[in-house]
Amino acid sequence: MGVKLEKIGPNRVKLEIEASAELVNKGLDFALTKGIGEDALLNEALNHIIPEVYEAAVQETGITPISKADIFIIEAAKDQPLRFSAEVFIKPEIKLGKYKGLETTKDKALTVTDAEIEKELLRYRQGNAKTEVVEDGEVLTGDIVKIDFEGFKDGVAFAGGSSENYSLEIGSGSFIPGFEEQVIGMKLNEEKDIEVVFPENYHAEDLAGAPVTFKVRVNEITRKQIAELDDEFAKTISDFNTIAELKEDVRKVLLARKEATANKYKREQLVKQAVNNATFELDEQMIDAEVKRMVRDFENQAKAHGTTLEGYLEQTNQTLESFETQFRDEAQNRLESHLVLQEIASVENIEVTEDEINNEVLVIAKTYNKQPEEIQALLENKDNANSLKSELAMRKAEALLVEHSESK
């Protein structure tokens, strides 16, 4: 095997790798055992041998990758050597500064007010509210309406400006400013022209700042019926028999939430100090890649909730570029924190035990309503296993910062 290493950025390298024709043929033999069609044989063979060859190249060059490699095939054919390149971000050289004895604010006594309890109970009541169809009456704030609408600019219908039986909660602020307010007071089956002006920063340039008219028809009105705050409500939504017991439980939940927030803030402040005290160079390309990853995560979450990234951007009047910009500072902070915590874990010889990994598997399984065996199966992938181990090591490094901090 031949390997050529080239630095293409402060924290990014390219490996040009060549593997023997014998290895390629062995990969093809393996692919044949899986009953794959002839057209897909080579791709399957490459999928089988490239990870092994890449790992060997990493070991030979002594680099420390901190991201998945981008693989580019240069030459691949039966009876011929395999040539490909792998571009990957590597761990930058980090010189730690002071990370023990960092100052943190003194813990304050935390309390939960009656108003906070009532607000949380209102959220419970709204979440368990029943709905009824309104046949006779006007649309009120908080109602959910189904409407048909079609938008016109200068008397001409514009693309993407119409829908049928569109569900809209009045007062949610999810539609164009000024639209929902004009639906209030409409009755079932009523039709109305609603005039609004698109925001100046609307993503569609031909509509940005433009006055338009929507022809609207109300097809259905539903209204939430919020339950009374009594013992019966407590029995319905919990294992408690009285509202007093439920209130006490809510107080404990809110207090635990405040304590978790305070602890999180303390850890973040200590990590920020450790980052500021460290010296290292962060590649702009690495930040770009982290932003893209965060946007992909957002997109996957949107799909899980039955929507799309494109739909969200349209609803919030954003372009993809402006949306990505919002993640940039967070992406940089996250990368810097991870790199410094990983370096602290290395210097302090922090290790993660099998018991700690197994316990975390149980937590993840419970969080995502999965069987532990399903999570363990995911950890058979080396990247997933290393990612979990790194996450646990960073948590222990954070705990070390807290343990050795000084309250002021």
**Ordered per-residue pLDDT tens for the chain, 408 residues:** 789 999 988 889 999 999 898 888 888 887 777 766 666 778 888 888 899 899 999 999 999 888 889 999 999 888 889 999 999 999 889 999 999 999 998 888 899 999 999 999 999 998 888 889 999 999 999 999 999 999 999 999 998 899 999 999 999 988 999 999 999 999 999 999 999 999 988 878 889 899 999 999 999 999 988 889 999 999 999 999 999 999 999 999 999 999 999 999 999 999 999 999 999 988 888 899 899 999 999 999 888 888 888 888 887 778 899 899 999 999 999 999 999 999 999 999 999 999 999 999 999 999 989 999 999 999 988 888 989 999 999 999 999 999 999 987
Query: Given its phi and psi angles, is residue 93 left (phi above 0), alpha (psi -120 to 50 degrees) or beta?
Result: beta
Domains of the chain: 2-89 (3.30.70.1050), 130-225 (3.10.50.40)
Q: What is the DSSP string of 139-202?
A: --TT-EEEEEEEEEETTEEEEEEEEEEEEEETTS--SSTTHHHHHTT-BTT-EEEEEEE--TT-
In whole angstroms, give the CA distance from residue 309 to residue 45: 35
In whole angstroms, give the CA distance from residue 180 to residue 198: 14
Tokens 């999965």 belong to residue: 370
For the purposes of burial, counting CB atoms within 10 Å of the CB of 293, is it exposed (0-12), middle (13-18) or buried (19 or more)?
Answer: middle
**pTM reported for the whole predicted model:** 0.72
Q: Which of 255, 254, 222, 238 is nearest to 125 (CA)?
A: 238
Q: Which of 339, 340, 352 is nearest to 393 (CA)?
A: 352
In whole angstroms, give the CA distance from residue 260 to residue 404: 19
In whole angstroms, give the CA distance from residue 299 to residue 304: 9
The amino acid that residue 401 corresponds to is L
How far, in Å, are 112, 124, 127 from residue 120 at the CA level?
11, 6, 11
Tokens 């978790």 belong to residue: 260
259 is written with which tokens? 């304590």
134 is written with which tokens? 């309104």
321 is written with which tokens? 């570029």
Question: For residue 13, what is the enclosing H or E element?
Answer: strand 12-19
φ and ψ at residue 169, rounded to 5 degrees:
-90, 120
CB under 8 A, 24+ apart: contacts of 244-247:
246/121, 247/117, 247/121
Write the CB contacts of 249 (distance below 8 Å, at least 6 apart in sequence): 238, 240
In whole angstroms, give the CA distance from residue 136 to residue 145: 14
pLDDT score of 39: 64
SS3 of residue 32 by DSSP? helix
pLDDT score of 32: 74
In whole angstroms, give the CA distance from residue 354 to residue 175: 50
146 is written with which tokens? 């189904």
- Half-sphere CA count of 65, side-chain side, radius 13 A: 22
Q: In 258-400, which ranges are E strands?
A: none
Instruction: Work out the angle between the directed axes of helices 114-127 and 243-277 (0-180°, nearest 10).
Output: 100
Tokens 């919020």 belong to residue: 226
